[in-house]
Structures are given as structure tokens and as C-alpha cells.
Structure 1
Amino acid sequence: MFARRIAVVGAGYVGLTTAACLASLGHRVCCADVEVAKVERLRRGEVGILEPELPDLVTEGLAAGRLSFVVGARRAVGDAEVVFLCLPTPMGEDGSADLAAVESVIAETRELLPTGCVVVTKSTVPVGTAHRLAELLGRHDVAVVSNPEFLREGSAVTDFLNPDRVVVGSDAQDAAERVAALYARLGAPTVLTDAASAEMVKYAANCFLAMKLSYVNAVAELCERLGANVTDVTEGIGYDRRIGQAFLQPGPGWGGSCLPKDTAALARVAAAVGLDFPLLQATIDTNHHQRSRTVAKVRMAVGGSLAGARIGLLGLTFKAGTDDLRDSPALAVAGALAAEGAELTGHDPAVRVVSGPLTVVDDPYAVAKDADALVLLTEWPEFRALDWTMVAELLNGKVVIDTRNHLDPDVLSRAGLTWHGVGRPSVAC
């Protein structure tokens, strides 16, 4: 494998993981970001996001001289053979992806890119973006390639180095093959296609996963009404290889930095070309319903009114293993509880401060003190290991709403607590 000179623009979850992992594969990588303080920390090997294995890879890359950090894209691209754009594409007010950051970097660097360089969009971008960026570049000697990422927060390094597949798309076959060669050591199946299809792969994948989560949440609600157990149901269907076990865990709704914006963006794209996509809209609507259903469970548990109720929240991030609060269903539920007058105290192993009507404490037992109900919203392993007898003594109301089916109902029952899960029969003390 030939070592390439690579520039990575953006040092967030995707950019930093991409830079550190490519450096670990032997490439020489310069990673750029606009935040001066972040770049200075990274030069010292200090990683400011919770991502297992990433700090070690950054430290190793710096020590080996294969990884460096600079302020600003212009300083990174001058001698690069491949430039990865790992920039935020947040959801705009109309639901479409905002490409301002991507287009800004293209405008800033187009005159500096070396002849024969390949620009790679790693960010999730709408179908047609590669073609648009090629027009903005106005450089026939610079190819644009789509290479979507499929990284899960909390396991991003593992996902990068052990991918299910590598997808590379471009209208320039040789450029696509050069990008695919960067991953050759990983031995993953590689899909070489056109740019539009590669861009579509990411949206199609994420929206399918969101659909699967909304489906299992709807099934869980049906199980509650019919007296079935969703855990047994999902086990039964998950052994079917056509379905699989992944993304079949009910919860308070899905969130994070990807699924909400990607479902909204694909819905917007479909509408723009006159396609009615009711299945996708139902996926989004079901997710909103699930959050409302969670609030209704808490309301019922405290007697029918949340006004003045003291509610303890366990977990605030959108999933365990990350410190990411973006579009967290836990915070959405918290906001709805507060809107009905609940007084909220929360704890999360990865969070110290949250804006809004919520007091965050360092001790999970402080969450339970004098609370009328305890609500588990994020599936941190630490919560299973709590002394539930002590929790029961601290609680005012002896009820726990477990929105992830994460806790052992029998353990809580023996502690004198009533457990309410999702899609499963409640267990009383």
C-alpha cells in the first residue's frame, strides 16, 4: 500500500476519527479545524470527545509523525493528494441539509489544491452535492468523490477499522479507485459507484435504521395493549437473518446527530422532486409519538399531573457510551416534563452541565432523593449496578419508568419498587 498525503478538514467526531485512523494505516495526515483552542489541545494529544480508543490513536499518530493539526483548511491542503471534508451539515429550518460549511471550505481552498488532488466528501450531504462541488471548484484537474461514513458514536474507531463496507462514488473512476485504495488494508467489501448513488447510500441506510427503530417502538406499544412481551418478540424475529438483531431495542425515541437530520433531509429531497414518501414521514411521526408516550407514562405514574412533581432522570445523552447531547430523546422528554410543571434533577456519567430547566448532579443517588418517580432514559451500564434498596429508601414515590428496558425488574421489585418498562408487563413490589 502506498502512503498518501492526506488533509482532513474538520476535527469533530468524524474528522478526528478519520484523521487518526488513516494515520494508523500508515498515511501522513494533516487535520485542520477553525477552533484555535481545539487545535492546540489536539497537538498535545488531548481529545475533547468521549470516544474509546481515539485518544490512543491520536497520541500514537503524533508520536510517529504521521498526524498533525493546523488551524484553517488553507494550511492543510497545499500538498495533499486527498482532501477529506468532514464538516457539519446541520438541519436547516426547512429540514434540508445546510452545506454552508462545506461550500465555504471549497471557496477558501479551490485555488490552493494541487493538480491531481481528490476532494472527498465524508460529511453526509444531499444527493447531487459532489456534482455541485465540482462546479464550485471549477477545476478539471481536481476530482470530487463521495465516501460516506458509517461511524457510530461510542464505537467510531472500531467501525472505521472494521467496516461492514466501504462506499466510494465518483464520475471519475480513477479517483474513486484511489480513494478506495486508502482502505485496502482493512479488507472490507468495497462498493464503487457513481457519486449520486454513494450519497444516496448514506441517507438510505440511516433512514432504514430509523424506520426499524420506529417500527419496534410501535410494536412495543402494541405489546403493551395486548399483554405480550416485546423483548421476547424482538428475540423471536431477530434470529431471522433477513431482519437481524440490531436496532430492535425499544426506547424513548431515537435521536443523536445523524438520524433526525438525515430523515428530515431525505424527506425534503423527496418532496423537492415530487415524490410522496409516507413511510419515511410515518417513521418521523412515530418517533415524536414515542417521546410523548414516555411523558404520558411518567404523568400516569405520579397520579395524572406533573405540576409540582419531582422527577429524577437517569441518563441525558442520546445513547450510552458518548457525551453527545445533540437531539437527545432524553432531553426532549425532559423538556416536555418541565413544560407540564415537573421539577427535574438528572444525572449522566458523561454530562456535567445542561442548559434548560434541569438540575444536573454528580451523584445518581441524589437524583432519587425525594423524587416522586425515577425515569431511566439512557442505557448506561452503571445504572444496573446501583444499590436499588438505597434508591428505594431515597425515593418518595416507589416507581421507576425504564424507557430502555435496561434494568432487572426482579431486582427492583425485591428492593420495594414498581418497574414500568416499554412493551413489557410492569412488575410491582
Structure 2
Amino acid sequence: MKIAVIGTGYVGLVTGTCFANSGNDVTCIDIDEKKIAGLKSGVIPIYEPGLKELVLRNAEEGRLHFTTDTASAVKTAEMIYLAVGTPQGDDGSADLSAMWAVTKALAPHLQEDAIVVTKSTVPVGTNAKIFGMLKELTGRDCHVASNPEFLKEGAAIDDFMKPDRVVVGVRCAEVSDKLQQLYAPFLRTEKPFLSMSPESAEMTKYVANALLATKISFINEMANLCEKMGGDINDVRRGIGHDSRIGFAFLFPGVGYGGSCFPKDVRALTAMTEDKGNVPEMLRAVDNVNERQKTVLFEKVKTHFDGDLSGKRIAIWGLAFKPETDDIREAPALVLIRQLQEAGATVVAHDPEAMENVAAETEGVEFSESATKALKGADALCICTDWKAYHQPDFAEIYQLMAGHVVFDGRNLYDPARMKARGYCYHSIGRVAVDGRKA
């Protein structure tokens, strides 16, 4: 099948590459000439495990192409995927200006039987508006489907190749059948292909992300309570997770969620709810709890140092909003950096992938190519991202390097009793702090 994917961001590039890998002829389109030139030369603009290898292989084998020419790619395409950005607007709603511009640009070149598919996360009703715009621009009823993505950054290739389910929103059985054929190679293990109305498909994406975000905010709020009650949130998590109605997924306490999806989608769903005259009490609470959680680590640091951080050297491990990505959008580490600097501390940071992105967004941060070397002379260590490289450090070497033996673990990577035995003062999330330092 000949497919055009408009937008080479995270979703568009993964989608186009995976479709090419299953034998389709895919052209990825973007208005950013520098990005397209880079992709043609094998330069991947994002970090995603396994993506570079797939892009290079499929491009070399002639199934994956890159261009800035929308007209040439669309006019021969049987299916056109829209994967442009829908950033958060000033009022919390999604900004669809790029979606409308792309719709107008592709309309004159659209084949009569071509199917336009929205892959971007868009408010309910967007599909219908695109349908109306294309009818006005072309003078005919065009096929417009919705196909929301459920990709996790850091595991996007595997998620696409082995989806839990594929959701499509369509107006006729013919379009559903074509989309099912397209996804057939990825559904060989009997995972469901769910066909529904475009409005239901659009709503499914928002509801899924809002519910996952709710689980994170809930466990974080309970973790904060556990500390005050003398409990251990990890024990509580095990106690509730074995209930099949609850499960363990997204119940790991930490310093809050970030990224390109959860914050934006919760706020967009809030805006949609308000627009329809309903009161989004739970959605507002989820967002508020998360924003407050991003400040928890700083409050622990400030309390430990009796409110005076001037001249303190604080090391941070982990800058990306989650491991296996370089994405720092809404990352809790950025909040911590700002608060530490405003309090007069010097910040030295390490992350396997995201340091360049943080350097472009901040000033005054020192960066270390080595996680261990970042701790030289540090008064404390703060852990913000659960990279595997941080799970088994050489604690004896770290002890010798640090000026102060204090760890603020925002991801609960270590056992408190063992940290105490190693001679550290150890603070985590939802567990009582321990202090093994000698008086």
C-alpha cells in the first residue's frame, strides 16, 4: 500500500517507519527542510530505542522516503496519515492550527478513494471538521478516519509492532476493512481491532491517558500520606496491586508524570469538559496533584538543609521525563533545577540522552558525561529518572566522591535499610527517611 505520513515528529516517524517495515511504500513529509535532509542522511531527530536501525534499513531497501513536497506524496497515496503537532494552547485546549493547515494543503492533491487518517491526538469532533473542510475544498465526500496512537516513549517500536489493541474511528465498513488489512501484520496474536465512530475513537485516546495519569497522581498522593503515617508505599502498592481490579501498572510512586501526552491530554480533556458545561473535578485534581508532586523532591532537599541551599552543590541523575527517551517536555527535573537555582544552589546533572536538550532550555547547569563524576564534591544527590544505569552504582566510590552523603531518590531505586548500612542519609517517596551517617 502507498502511504503518506505528514509530520515526522515522534508519532509520525515511528508510524511511517513501522508501516514501511511491514512492506508498505511510505513517504514521510515535513515542512522542516533541515529535518528532512537529516533523515535522508540517516540523522534521527529523536532518541527512541531501535528506531534508527529501522529507519536506515527501510530507507536502504526503498520502502521509506522523506520529502518536503506534500503534493507529490499525497497525489499517489492510498492512505494519508496526519501526525502533526497539536500542542497545548493558552487555555489548555489543543492548538489545531497545524492540522487545519495540512488539511487545506493536501485537499487539491487527494485521490478520490484515498483515506485521510488522523493519528495526532485531537479533540473530539476534529474528524468531523476535517471531513467538512475536505468536502468544501474538493466538492465531494472524502474518507476520513481516526486512528489514535497508544505508544509509550522508550518502547514505541514494540508497542506499534505488538499493540494491545488497534482502535479506528470510521464512517463506513469499507474504510474499516482497509485499515484492518493495513494492521493485519501487527495483529497476528489475536489482539483486537476495534472499529467505532470517529468521535468514540477520539474520546478513547483522551480517556485512556487521563485514566493512566489518574493512577499516577493517586499513588503519589497516597505515597505522601504514607510518609506521614509511618507506612511504606511499596508495601501498600503490593497489597493493592494483587487485586485483579486494580493491578500494578502505573502505580509506581515518584516525582510526577511529564512528557508530551499526559499533561497536555489531561488539560485538553478538562477544556473539552468545561466547554460542554460539565465540571471536570477529577481531571483538575489529577493535574493539580501532579504539578504539586514535581516540587516534592525540592521540599525534601530544602527541609534537610534547614532552608538554606546557598552554596550547596546538588547533583541530579536523570533529566528526561522517563527513561529510554531524550524528551524533557514537562519533565519533573526541570522544575527541580529551577527551584534549586532560585534557592542559590549549584546544579550538576547527568542523563544518558537528554543533557543536550536541557542545556538548550536552561542556564547555569553543569553537565557531566559520567553519572559518577557528577557526584564529585556534591552535597546531595537527587534522582529524577529511572534509568537502568542508576540502579547498581558503586556506592563505595560514590561515598568517597561526595562531600555530603545524602540521597533524595525520586524513583525509589534503592532499599532504605541498605542505604542506611552504607552510611547514607536516604530520602525516598512514600517511605520513612533513614540516616546512616556517623554523628
Is residue 2:381 matched to residue 1:374? yes
Identity between Structure 1 and Structure 2 (%)? 41
Is residue 2:46 matched to residue 1:40? no
Residue of structure 2 equivalent to 1:363: 370
Residue of structure 1 equivalent to 2:244: 241
Match for residue 256 of structure 1 among 259, 265, 268: 259
> In structure 1, what residue type is equivalent to 2:312?
A
Listed one character per residue, the Cα deviations across residues 71-125 of structure 1 (whole Å, up to 9, x for unaligned) are: 1422321110100011110001110101111111111110111111111000000
Residue of structure 1 equivalent to 2:343: 340
> In structure 1, what residue type is equivalent to 2:307?
G
Is residue 2:59 matched to residue 1:53? no
Residue of structure 2 equivalent to 1:158: 158
Contact 2:47 2:325 in 1 (8 A): yes
1:262-411 alignment, distance < 5 Å: 262-353=265-356, 354=359, 355-357=361-363, 358-411=365-418
Contact 1:146 1:168 in 2 (8 A): yes
Contact 1:369 1:395 in 2 (8 A): yes
Tell which deviates more after alignment, 378-387 or 412-421: 412-421
Q: Secondary structure at 1:31's aligned position in 2? A: strand
Runs of at least 4 residues off by over 6 Å:
none
Q: Secondary structure at 1:390's aligned position in 2? A: helix
Residue of structure 2 equivalent to 1:421: 428
Instruction: Call closer, same or farther: CA 1:235–1:254 in 2, change over 3 Å.
Output: same
Is residue 2:172 matched to residue 1:172? yes
Residue of structure 1 equivalent to 2:142: 142
Listed one character per residue, the Cα deviations across residues 327-360 of structure 1 (whole Å, up to 9, x for unaligned) are: 1111122212222222211111113332324222
> In structure 1, what residue type is equivalent to 2:341?
A
Q: Counterparts of 1:85 and 1:330 in 2: how far apart (Å)?
A: 31
Q: Counterparts of 1:349 and 1:169 in 2: how far apart (Å)?
A: 39
Contact 1:317 1:348 in 2 (8 A): yes
Q: Counterparts of 2:290 and 2:195 in 1: how far apart (Å)?
A: 34
- Post-superposition shift, 1:202? 0.3
- Post-superposition shift, 1:129? 0.2
Contact 2:295 2:335 in 1 (8 A): no
- Post-superposition shift, 1:199? 0.2
Instruction: Call closer, same or farther: CA 1:298–1:62 in 2, change over 3 Å.
Output: same
RMSD of the alignment, in Å? 1.5
Instruction: Call closer, same or farther: CA 1:17–1:340 in 2, change over 3 Å.
Output: same
Is residue 2:202 matched to residue 1:205? no
- Post-superposition shift, 1:410? 4.5
How many residues align structurally? 426
Contact 2:131 2:141 in 1 (8 A): no
Residue of structure 1 equivalent to 2:75: 78
> In structure 2, what residue type is equivalent to 1:201?
T
Tell which deviates more after alignment, 279-288 or 42-51: 42-51
Contact 1:302 1:373 in 2 (8 A): no
Unmatched 5+ stretches in structure 2:
none
Q: Counterparts of 1:369 and 1:331 in 2: how far apart (Å)?
A: 22
- Post-superposition shift, 1:411? 4.6
Q: Counterparts of 1:300 and 1:74 in 2: how far apart (Å)?
A: 59
Q: Secondary structure at 2:307's aligned position in 1? A: coil
Tell which deviates more after alignment, 99-108 or 197-206: 99-108
Q: Secondary structure at 1:345's aligned position in 2? A: strand
Residue of structure 1 equivalent to 2:195: 192
1:49-128 alignment, distance < 5 Å: 49-128=46-125
Contact 2:232 2:431 in 1 (8 A): yes
TM-score (normalised: structure 1)? 0.96
Instruction: Call closer, same or farther: CA 1:305–1:194 in 2, change over 3 Å.
Output: same
Tell which deviates more after alignment, 201-210 or 294-303: 294-303
Tell which deviates more after alignment, 240-249 or 348-357: 348-357
Q: Counterparts of 1:411 and 1:383 in 2: how far apart (Å)?
A: 16
> In structure 2, what residue type is equivalent to 1:69?
F
TM-score (normalised: structure 2)? 0.94
Q: Secondary structure at 1:307's aligned position in 2? A: coil
